[in-house]
Structure 1
Amino acid sequence: MIDIANAKPGDEVFVIYQNPTFLTAAKIRAAEIVQHPNNPNTLALFLNEIYHELEDDDALFTSSEAAKKAYETHFFDIAE
């Protein structure tokens, strides 16, 4: 995972994105770290043409493979 404190504009990251319409559906998506357009002192995640303000508990990954492994581990842990 990427430490958000080390994130900088232009970084490409991968996230596990939960579909807001179907809460049981999640996909791994590429996103970019950018300056938030409404608050230049804040970083945002640009995902699906929307700016999401970065929060301390966001899970950002350096590769889609790392995100996939975390996703599989998380759901297997819940099922057990």
Structure 2
Amino acid sequence: MDFKLGETVYVIYRNPHAAIVANILSAEIVQHPINENEFALFLHDSYHPLSDDDAVFSSFDEAERLYNELFDYGQYH
């Protein structure tokens, strides 16, 4: 996915304190604060370097589809 500076994206974010908890959050694509040649996600009032394994989507609907596939616990009950 090609990102543009200032673009709002949606990420599936796992809670670092509870591995089974994940949410879809909006984030902004910003210039990396240290490496000016890279972009970062601005999320929870901090910068997160973008990596290939980040679940980043251009729309909430796209993020929600994957979220439902990954975390549809109802199918096991």
Shorter-normalised TM-score: what interval?
0.7 to 0.9
Higher relative contact order (CA 8 A, sep 6+): 1
Q: TM-score, normalised by structure 1?
A: 0.82
CA RMSD of aligned residues (A): 1.5
Aligned residue for 1:10? 6
- Following superposition, the deviation at residue 75 of structure 1 comes to 3.1
Letter in 1 for 2:42: F
Q: Distance in 1 between matches of 2:36 and 2:18?
A: 32
Q: Superposition pairs for residues 13-32 of structure 1, below 5 Å?
A: 13-32=9-28
Q: Do structure 1's residue 34 and structure 2's residue 30 form an aligned pair?
A: yes
Residue 56 (structure 1) aligned to one of 52, 57, 61:
52
Q: TM-score, normalised by structure 2?
A: 0.85
Percentage of identical aligned residues:
47
- Following superposition, the deviation at residue 59 of structure 1 comes to 1.8
Aligned residue for 1:71? 67
Q: Distance in 2 between matches of 1:20 and 1:39?
A: 25
- Following superposition, the deviation at residue 11 of structure 1 comes to 0.9
- Following superposition, the deviation at residue 64 of structure 1 comes to 1.5
Comparing 41-50 and 58-67, the one that deviates more: 58-67
**Gap regions ≥5 residues in structure 2:** none
Q: Distance in 1 between matches of 2:10 and 2:27?
A: 6
